[in-house]
Amino acid sequence: MPLIPVVLWTDALVFILIALVAGFAAHAARHEHLRDPWRRVLRSRVGVATLVVLVAFGLVGLLDTLHVRLKQDPPSATGEVRYSPEVLSLLDLALSGLRERQEKTYSAPFATHLFVKESMNQPDGRVLRDYPRLEHGGAHLEDPARQRAWDIAWRSLLGLVKGLIAWSLLTAGILWLMARRQGRALSEVRDAILAGRTPIPWRTALGTLGVLLALGFVAGELAFKYHILGTDKVGEDVFFQTLKSIRTGLLIGTLTTLVMLPAAVLLGIAAGYFRGWVDDVIQYLYTTLNSIPGVLLIAAAILMLQVYMSNHADAFASLVERADLRLLFLCLILGVTSWTGLCRLLRGEALKLREIDYVQAAQALGVGHFTVIARHILPNVMHIVLITLALDFSGLVLAEAVLSYVNIGVDPTMNSWGNMINSARLELAREPVVWWSLAAAFLFMFTLVLAANLFADVVRDAFDPRLRGGGR
């Protein structure tokens, strides 16, 4: 085999999370009280637009989650097939051109020369201090000063055309599937979408998809000839770093829920339903935990992990596995420190629900406590769980940036927006300012957090029983 799959700890948790989401989707499809709110989300223009953006981020993160080891050539003397110790993701393989093209040091976006001057020996023996040409960025240009602007414009136009072609093919496929499913003519489905007469705002969804594909193809066309977001201090492509950082941000925002959700749901419902000494113990637990500064708890846990990894360096086959363990540990600590808010909300809701007539009737008929919780309490608090998770996602993404900024976040060898901001903060004092690493991290993080916040607003409105209406 040319490669073998590698499953890291966080990869396994991602697959578990995907399975849980698929299971919940299948369960919600069979129950109207769960299907109707999600139908409202999909009927919202803001909801479908942000969902397309989040799915695009998710696909990039999923490609970066599938890891492999490549076969080494030639094989060993005994004929045994050997595989490289380096762990690569499918995204690394797809963007190998960006990953392997490294300059000496800083270069500005779309630059053809380094950002700093160097001493260069001339053929006549003189030493000239000037900006040397980049090894990869714009290396195909003979006269960068004259050709660069036209080349960028031409490649942007070419990428735009490719993006529109890809969007047209995808749109045609979607229209064909809709026409076949509804038993209508293709032209009728097209006219209904253009007029905005479909229950799901497909015009908005396809428009957002078109913008993303156009931007993606333009960026792809330019990125393999230029460093479109510049390079960092060691000459690595900043655009590649921002794409690799998507997985880290998504994992921090999603895997933390696997840790916090069971504790928050079980303890919150138990405290509100059983009351008495159970309520007192659980309240004492999360009150005590809230009294500990979260940053100090995270810092202590990360420092202990660093000591463990230093004393057991042989247990890690690669730097990727070492960084993955630290990311997993960070998700665990964030989950331990972030479940208390949801627990309090569920406790209050359970206190109210246990006094509802049908719960009292079930208890009077001798129905067991756990059956009452599973059939009457848990289904009626799921909207609070979903709303809280959607709202907390963006906060967790921003928390990673803050923690990495103070050096207690993910491993420094792992790509993340926090590490990019941390490495770029000292360069803001340079003259001229090296601004592109900070700007790139801000742009991608802002887009993800904004989409998540807008989607969370739509989910909150759809699941709020006091609100009616299909969307905005």
- Name the region of 268 (left: φ>0; alpha: ψ -120 to 50; beta: rest): alpha
- For 24-80, the three-class secondary structure string (H helix, E strand, C coil) is HHHHHHCCHHHHHHHHHHHCCHHHHHHHHHHHHHHHHHHHCCCEEEEECCCCCCCCC
Residue 291 resides in a domain = yes
The Cα diameter of the chain in Å comes to 101
Using CA atoms, how far apart are residues 217 and 205, in angstroms rounded to an integer? 18
Q: How far out from the chain centre does Cα 74 lie?
A: 37
**Of 55, 71, 69, 60, which Cα lies nearest the Cα of 94?**
60
**Inter-CA distances, 327 with 293, 409, 439, Å:** 20, 8, 24
Residue 267 resides in a domain = yes
For residue 430, count other CB atoms closer than 10 A to its CB: 12
Domain of 245, in residue numbers: 238-446
**Which tokens in the block code for residue 92?**
């690394």
Residue 470 resides in a domain = no
**Of 272, 292, 293, 294, which Cα lies nearest the Cα of 283?**
272
**Of 462, 390, 389, which Cα lies nearest the Cα of 38?**
462
The amino acid at residue 169 is: L
The amino acid at residue 101 is: R
Residue 54 resides in a domain = no
Whether the Cβ atoms of residue 340 and residue 286 lie closer than 8 Å to each other:
yes
Residue 313 resides in a domain = yes
For residue 391, count other CB atoms closer than 10 A to its CB: 16
Backbone φ and ψ of 309, nearest 5°: -70, -35
> What sign does the CA torsion over 220, 224, 230, 232 have?
positive
Residue 286 resides in a domain = yes
- Residue 450, C-beta contacts closer than 8 angstroms, at least 6 positions apart: none
**Which tokens in the block code for residue 150?**
């036209």
- What is the DSSP pairing of strand 127-130 with strand 88-89? unpaired
pLDDT at residue 471 in the model? 41
Residue 367 resides in a domain = yes
For residue 200, count other CB atoms closer than 10 A to its CB: 16
- Predicted confidence pLDDT, tens digits, the chain (472 residues): 677 888 888 899 899 889 988 988 888 888 787 788 888 889 999 999 999 999 999 999 999 999 988 887 766 566 677 777 788 899 998 888 888 888 888 888 999 888 888 777 777 767 777 788 888 888 888 888 888 999 999 999 999 999 999 999 999 999 999 998 888 888 888 888 888 888 899 999 999 999 999 999 999 999 989 999 999 888 899 999 999 999 998 998 888 887 888 889 999 999 998 888 988 999 998 888 888 887 788 888 888 888 887 787 777 767 788 888 888 888 888 888 888 888 998 999 898 888 888 888 888 888 888 888 888 888 788 778 877 887 788 888 888 877 877 777 788 888 888 888 888 877 777 777 888 888 999 999 999 989 988 998 888 888 765 554 444 4
Using CA atoms, how far apart are residues 161 and 272, in angstroms rounded to an integer? 58
Residue 89 resides in a domain = no
Task: Specify the DSSP class assigned to residue 89.
Answer: E
**Which tokens in the block code for residue 93?**
């393989």
The amino acid at residue 209 is: L
Whether the Cβ atoms of residue 224 and residue 235 lie closer than 8 Å to each other:
no
Whether the Cβ atoms of residue 437 and residue 427 lie closer than 8 Å to each other:
yes
Backbone φ and ψ of 244, nearest 5°: -65, -25
Assign residue 251 the CATH number of its domain. Answer: 1.10.3720.10
Total domains present in the chain: 1
For residue 355, count other CB atoms closer than 10 A to its CB: 8
**Of 84, 76, 97, which Cα lies nearest the Cα of 3?**
84
pLDDT at residue 78 in the model? 64
Whether the Cβ atoms of residue 91 and residue 244 lie closer than 8 Å to each other:
yes
**Of 233, 248, 249, 251, which Cα lies nearest the Cα of 437?**
233
